Amino acid sequence: MASEYRIIARVAKAHGSRGKVVCQAADGLPLLLRPGLEVWVVPPTLKGPRHGAVASVEEGPRGVLVGLTCCEDRDGAESVAGRFLLARRCDLPEDLVLRDAAEAIGLPVEDVTFGALGEVVDVLEGPVQDVWVVEGPFGEVLVPAVEELLVDVTDEAVVFDLPSGIVPAEGAEP
């Protein structure tokens, strides 16, 4: 059950008297908060808000200002300051796996031409893009983790349409 949810943001502080909070992206992810997204506050507050939805997201002078349906006033906003916001994985973008190195480890990877390439064993983080190190029937394959090559993310595998030359064709049996 815990794997069905993901920490996506940290509530830095309360802002103003209308219950808005300043949020920061968590774990190197982009800010994934959007209006309508259902979120849970963790660790849960004893008497304050525990669950709600994102009402608004806007750039503020000192960060991203977020309105939460569970925080109607300053007291509610202050009670969630310093906590994290959790969201269901199924409510997050499909390509999130490309931006989250920790999530990629262990994932099965396929190519539309060669089929199963193996499993992600390491992620080489770069300034522009990450590269997944995939071990499998073709040996070690370095897969650029970019949205332009992504075909599908299923429960079984992450499917790419890789350019020729990435998968070594010689000596390997698909």
Q: Where are the domains of the chain?
A: 2-91, 98-160
High-pLDDT (> 70) share of the chain, %: 91
Starting at the earlier edge strand, list the strands of the sheet with 158-160. 139-145, 130-136, 115-124, 108-111, 158-160, 150-153
Detail the DSSP E strand segments found in the chain: 5-15, 20-25, 38-42, 51-60, 63-68, 84-88, 108-111, 115-124, 130-136, 139-145, 150-153, 158-160
SS3 53: strand
Question: In this structure, how many other beta carbons lie within 10 angstroms of the beta carbon of residue 144?
Answer: 18
Can you name the residues that pair with 143 across neighbouring β-strands? 132
Strands 130-136 and 51-60: unpaired
Q: Does domain 2-91 have CATH number 2.40.30.60?
A: yes
133: tokens are 């190190």
Quickly tell me which residue has 């669950």 as its tokens: 51
Residue pair 146/136 in contact by the 8 Å Cβ criterion: no
**Correct CATH for 98-160 of 2.40.50.250, 3.20.20.10, 2.30.30.240, 3.90.1010.10:** 2.30.30.240
Check: CB of residue 105 under 8 Å from CB of residue 113.
no
Tens place of pLDDT per residue across the chain (174 aa): 446 888 899 999 998 888 899 999 887 778 899 999 999 999 988 887 899 999 999 987 777 999 999 998 899 899 999 999 999 988 888 767 667 767 778 889 999 999 999 999 998 888 888 899 999 999 999 999 888 898 888 767 889 999 988 888 654 554
Q: Token pair of 11, please?
A: 């509530």
Select from 44, 162, 146, 39 the least CA-distant residue to 98: 146
